[in-house]
Structure 1
């Protein structure tokens, strides 16, 4: 028989233990060791069997055990101390509270997935883990963030393996009542219901669950409720599942429903309404459309006026380095779903316009709705400016208004406790979260080399035990008999160099690159003097048979009885497994096709634990590899043949392992300490550790994006949105007349026959502005290094001052300084100018001389 409904029944807490309720429902326990210790003390054996899940422990602990603890003075003292520590953490001012009135009172952060803890399986990979770390770091810094996502009743899939190594997917049924969530309720205790209109007069309803992530509230919308018809109940069934129609409804619920959930939450709790809305990838793009609808209805703004108001307070982050990774819907589907939504469809569609006129591009909409946009590493910012450059025709890639903030990871979540207690993340500069400029974790310099190495050995041994447990469990699940599994007790070796490779399995991440020369890899694994061992994990999207074939290829290689004690593919990669890998691996391998890795935060987590990276210079590693924190794998980007490129780069990996990595690891002093290796660990912890912190990342978002966005949003709203109305009118006027703008003539004086550095060129430009005034434009002199085709590089610009006017002709002048030797060139360009624009390229039009 099948249960009609699934429930989680908990023991009733004695009054003396009531603080446990608050502790278990605040997910700070996922990164706070003292809170986890307290829940382990409830019942150590139950803690072990529940996999360290405080929610599950509290749901299964016996009433008798609770009654005993309610009379235990030592447990009660510990509990009250932890509860008081949480209250202090929640109430005390942090870094953000020092910023003053310019900082936004509230920020809404939308993402399709959030990886907070394995107990709340609402994530698939890096995007979700990044979003979870963003919330945690925001909490640590006191940033008033409100997270917005969906509650997937089956989460992402649990991964198994068939006997022949094929990926199997299983979707567990999740009961919200068994998760660390609270239902958002009206004052009369009824559930808040959010509604989103659908075609044919249908309506999508959702309840809102609240997860508390330290100081940050995360709102998760759930459509599996009685108010919905069966089709609508299934909208939040699983992460990244279903066809186009299903995905569109999910993204409408996330964007449109998410804004409505935020409005309800703020109204009920007295939280300030957000001034800034941050869309983490294009999935959340419809939040801007809903806010446009709100303003047209509440303030009588036109679509274009509301668009200006919404843009000012919107931040858009792209994580996608390839066009194939962008959500695109048939334009006809958008027309059908938004026909009666409340915004003119003919004005909505251009927001998602792209080269294919039949498609609606969610990333393009995110960029057009967000006045501020960014990639997630410096290299990814460059890639994004190239990839989306067509949205700003006439501009060089460097002028495309997409900045870059390199991702970070939440150190308390991902760093081994033993390393934190040693002081590997301490600095003589003060609180790292508040230091201006570069931070160095110089506390690691005070740790004895033998102690540091001993801790690394301890963490590797812990990983080996976990690998043995998982290898045995996987073999049983694939049909092996108990009598066949004696070898698993000695699989892997706590004293052997251990390399980790764990991530999603799309083709560009090249899971099987290491298998390019199987014989050579086998020789490295089995070397009698300098062996290595490999721990591999990762999930392929359920619809990606190519990725599943790569997993199967890896599993079959690892099944070889000759090497299975040195290499393992561990299924069901999640946060729980990841911690062991980051703690225990000596080297983190990453070999994507450059430049297709947007950031690659897994290597950051390894670095926080003293792991050395062995990586293609892509994503974050391209900017923070320093020659001491690991090894850079040479790339063969100029090789067009993919097989040949794979061959060249695989050989580079083997060579690095054989000639540099393995010798350095196994070269030890009289005390058995690999001193040169330990110095690399020390450098990684001291120099790389501070850079990869999520607190650094969130500070960058606050200072570079959130504070300016809040200022722009306030400016647009001034005087009953008068600024938004005037800006929309001005933009329309400029674009209508832009076709007539022309640089008619440029003359230069003061050049001389032999220009010398330190001199200057006086430029005077005649510009035709029919229908416009000099106040409508910015005229710039652009200059820099010039190539053989007269292309300008390393460009610098200076504004040209208006001199005189004669009808529609205007003269502008400036002096261009000669600050460099060699080939030099200059030109003049005209751009629209508004005090409300974040960058001159914002309108997407330019006239060059």
Structure 2
């Protein structure tokens, strides 16, 4: 039907309850237990039925119930308490707030997905949950950050299993008018729209805004009547399969996102690209800088990367998105005029060094080329990323590849159980959420009585089991299972036995089947009467990942065995709601990735802060988190060349840990007492999570290491008509022209023979700089342990001092080196550009002796 006119009917909220509508409009409520309880107490069953969506919920609350609550003094007192907390949000009093940034200096955080709450389906998995935690934490820390994403009408798929255990996908339409979003309008009340030019014409998008505490999240939507059907589909589904559609999505996110900020009169001081999906934002930012500050492209290229952060989450090269040159080129042609270069030149920014013009465009390469600040998401992932991408910076060692790491963290108030939150309020103090990683707060976890902590956990486990039973009955009803099966579903699991959870994306490298390597041994574990154990599995396989779907099917078939079917279950449609119950109530969090394919993984962190003990491969974050007093490791961090052998070895190690260590520790209860050693490990796990893997630590680290230096740098580069940036562009051209003339002679040591630890000797070299000057470059000695004919490990660099100018561009450099540790060492010398990291690490600007 065409030309449909619409109208909306809102619930008639009595005036004493009017704050409920205000509260429902800001996602802040979802990490405030007092606010969640306020909605829950209105109509508990209706709250769950509504998907814990307060806007939808209030639509269906009976009018007589609202009238009753409007005179309920207990409820109104509760509402007033929540209101007072809400009204302390600094954004409601922004004029009184001082940021450590210049006026209107905002950080624009781009992400393809945002996982804030299960009622807002804009996410697929861990990447989105991390982005949501980033926004929540920025709000807690009162940072001037704005999120930029897409508003999906169908989002990611809902998961259902058929009678045979094969995954089915459904994409239900989201009712946008039951989400806490509002159209962004101009001063006349008209919708603000932006457009991006695609090969088939204009892609128009409207802008929606939602409030995550004090952080606005801007969401672009192409589902407009004036757009043709194929354009409307761009923001229909998250991670849409068609490559042309994916390019359009990422163009709308990056280029459209920057234009949305400009339409709102926001010129970000820093842009943070969360994965390569948003790398096109840098192209539009170049154009904005050129237009706004009247500078050429070369000057803009000195500004944009120095004020851009790029975070990669992918530890496998094949997992980074690429687009064929012929497919992407038509999308780049509309940018030629604004940037003043050809589409072929723009395309080259996303191609590997020395590629042909027809090579694919890598979104990682484009993101890395446009950002000075690049990071992986754990210490191990930083090393893996440097190894993966060292070829982008040829002639540099792997250790010096300019990719650092910021280990992920989780937003503790969003994932801490209600019981543990109450313990924290009582023992740590009611303001612990403001500084969760403060050492004094962490230390006070030891003050919690062991019995109280164990009782709180037992309550969480009981709630998890009740939830699992309800979900299993719902699953079987959906499949029209017989009455006997439904009756058995009501009895699955036991509230008093060791409960192990495995919940994550069902990608093959995560190895959900590791326990099935020895089905008889697994079955013996599950059927034990002396040390009983039960398993809960949950997770989605990608719609095109048939191997992942096979893993789910195999688990379902195994779980149907009569003697174990009450001890092992699979929960459909894993989401934040299910995850929250699992990380609250499980005893053990199991993680079995094939190292080093887990970039970080944050579900185990969420479990840890609740006292759930991790049993995991030493991969991702667990390499940094593991200690024997707070969990268990599977193996010792080995990496294997033969996957089948690896699975055989590590499955046996897993069984041994469960049988010989985990189960005895859990059931070690003298005279019927609580498991004292287990509770001590729970406390250590909680302290680790609070101290090290909290999102407040993570976002503060981004702020101190990247955001603040980048924002400060922007003002320096733009001062005095961008004089410094223009000078840097000139310097880069000069270096590029003259670099080929540099020659470095082999360095010589002035003392022969072997050396003893503590001795010092001098090394010198002659360098021909051509027309370059000593203050244009850095001359360094590079040394390390000899690992082959021409390879050094643990390489270190040391500046060499210019001692003499010999004329004709020749200079003598030298430095002293002290022998700190015995071993066989090698050394050489090199020249790199002087200046900051952006120019020092320019590919090609390095000359070795």
TM-score, normalised by the number of residues in structure 2: 0.95
The question of whether the paired residues in 1 share the 8 Å contact of 2:380 and 2:620 is answered with: yes
Match in the other structure for 1:14: 14
Question: Does the aligned pair in 2 maintain the 1:425–1:443 contact within 8 Å?
Answer: no
- 2-side partners of 1:461 and 1:434: how far apart? 30
What's the counterpart of residue 550 of structure 1?
Answer: 551
Q: List gaps (5 residues or longer) in structure 2.
A: none
Superposed CA offset, 1:533-574 (max 9, x none):
110011111111121111111111122222110001111000
Residues 343-354 of structure 1 mapped to structure 2, 5 A cutoff: 343=339, 344=341, 345-354=343-352
CA contact 2:832–2:847 (8 Å) conserved in 1: yes
Aligned ranges 1:130-149 → 2 under 5 Å: 130-149=130-149
Match of 1:605 in 2: 606
Give distance in 2, aligned partners of 1:416 and 1:637: 34
Contact 1:184 / 1:210 at 8 angstroms: preserved in 2? yes
Q: How does 1:356-395 map to 2 (within 5 A)?
A: 357=356, 358-395=359-396
Partner of 2:299: 305
Partner of 1:568: 569
Once residues 502 and 3 of structure 1 are traced to their aligned partners in structure 2, the CA distance between those partners, rounded to angstroms, is 46
Aligned counterparts of 1:695 and 1:789: Cα–Cα separation in 2: 46
Figure out how many residues of one structure are paired with residues of the other and give that number.
Answer: 840
2:236 maps to 237
- Note the residue ranges of structure 1 that are not aligned, 5 or more in a row: none
Question: Counterpart of 1:337?
Answer: 331
Q: Which residue in 2 is equivalent to 1:793?
A: 793
> Quick one: distance in 1 between partners of 2:409 and 2:382?
15
1:426/1:779 CA distance change after superposition, 3 Å: farther
784-793 vs 214-223, greater mean Cα deviation: 784-793
What is the CA distance between 1:214 and its match in structure 2? 0.6
Check whether the contact 2:832–2:845 (CA below 8 A) recurs between aligned residues: yes
**1:802-841 alignment runs, 5 A limit:** 802-805=802-805, 806-834=807-835, 836-838=836-838, 840-841=840-841
Does the CA-based 8 Å contact 1:427-1:443 persist in structure 2?
yes
1:293 and 2:287 matched: yes
1:300 shift after superposition = 3.6
The CA deviation at 1:628 is: 1.3
Q: How far, CA to CA, are the matches of 1:452 and 1:2 in structure 2?
A: 60
Cα displacement (A) at 1:82: 1.5
Matched, 1:27 2:27: yes
In the alignment, the residues of structure 1 paired with residue 51 and residue 418 of structure 2 have an alpha-carbon distance, to the nearest angstrom, of 17
The 5 A counterparts of 1:150-189 are 150-189=150-189
Q: Name the CA distance, whole Å, in 2 between partners of 1:545 and 1:439.
A: 49
- Residue in 2 that maps onto 1:702: 703
Cross-structure match for 1:198: 198
Single out whichever of 800-809 and 123-132 deviates more from structure 2. 800-809
Whether 2:675 is the aligned partner of 1:681: answer no
Contact 2:51 2:118 in 1 (8 A): no
Decide which moves more: 717-726 or 550-559.
717-726
- On the 8 A contact 2:375/2:404 being kept in 1, the answer is yes
CA–CA distance in structure 2, aligned partners of residues 828 and 260 of structure 1: 47
Question: Hey, what's the Cα distance between the residues in 2 that align with 1:297 and 1:142?
Answer: 31
Q: Distance in 2 between matches of 1:126 and 1:830?
A: 42
- Determine the structure 2 residue equivalent to 1:410: 411
Counterpart-to-counterpart distance in 2, 1:103 and 1:602 = 37
CA RMSD between the two structures? 2.5
- Give the superposition deviation at 1:149: 0.3
Work out whether 1:776 is the aligned partner of 2:776.
yes
In the alignment, structure 1 residue 277 sits paired with structure 2 residue 271: yes
Q: Distance in 1 between matches of 2:3 and 2:380?
A: 51
> 1:170: Cα distance to partner?
0.6
Q: Is the 8 A contact 1:10 1:60 kept in 2?
A: no
The whole-number CA distance in structure 1 between the counterparts of 2:426 and 2:369 is: 40
Deviations 1:710-730 (A, max 9, x none): 122222222222222221221
* 1:314 counterpart = 2:313: no
Note if contact 1:25-1:181 (Cα within 8 Å) is conserved in structure 2: yes
Find the aligned partners of 1:763 and 1:97 in 2 and give their Cα distance.
Answer: 55
Counterpart residue number, 2:44: 44
SS of alignment partner, residue 837 of structure 2: coil
Residues 638 and 234 (structure 1 numbering): CA distance in 2 closer, same or farther, change over 3 Å? closer
Structure 1 residues 426 and 712: alpha-carbon distance in aligned structure 2, compared to 1, 3 A threshold? farther
Shift of 1:6: 9.2
CA displacement, residues 565-607 of structure 1 (integer Å, 9 cap, x when unaligned): 0001111000011011000111011011100000010100100
Q: 1:426 to 1:142 in 2, by over 3 A?
A: farther
- 1:9-32 per-residue CA deviation (whole Å, 9 max, x = no partner) reads 431323333222221111011110
Q: What is the Cα deviation at residue 98 of structure 1? A: 7.8
Correspondence 1:464 to 2:465: yes
3-state DSSP class of the match of 1:490? coil
Superposed CA offset, 1:775-825 (max 9, x none): 111011223333454633333322112222211212222211222223233
Shift of residue 845, structure 1, vs aligned partner: 2.6
Counterpart check, 1:668 vs 2:672: no
- 1:641 & 1:99 partners in 2: Cα distance? 53
**Helix, strand or coil at the partner of 1:88:** coil
Alpha-carbon contact 2:596-2:639 (below 8 Å) kept: no
Between the aligned partners of 1:408 and 1:598, the Cα distance in structure 2 is 13
Partners of 2:131 and 2:552 lie apart in 1 by 26
Q: Distance in 1 between matches of 2:547 and 2:3?
A: 36
TM-score (norm 1): 0.95
Contact 2:763–2:817 (8 Å) recurs in 1 = yes
Pair 1:686–1:839, CA change in 2 (3 A)? farther
Equivalent residue number for residue 660 of structure 2: 659
Q: 1:383 touches 1:595 (CA, 8 Å); kept in 2?
A: yes
Deviations 1:424-464 (A, max 9, x none): 89659996865998666222212222222121111111111
> 1:45-98: per-residue Cα shift (whole Å, max 9, x none)?
42243243322211212333333333444433332331221111334899x978
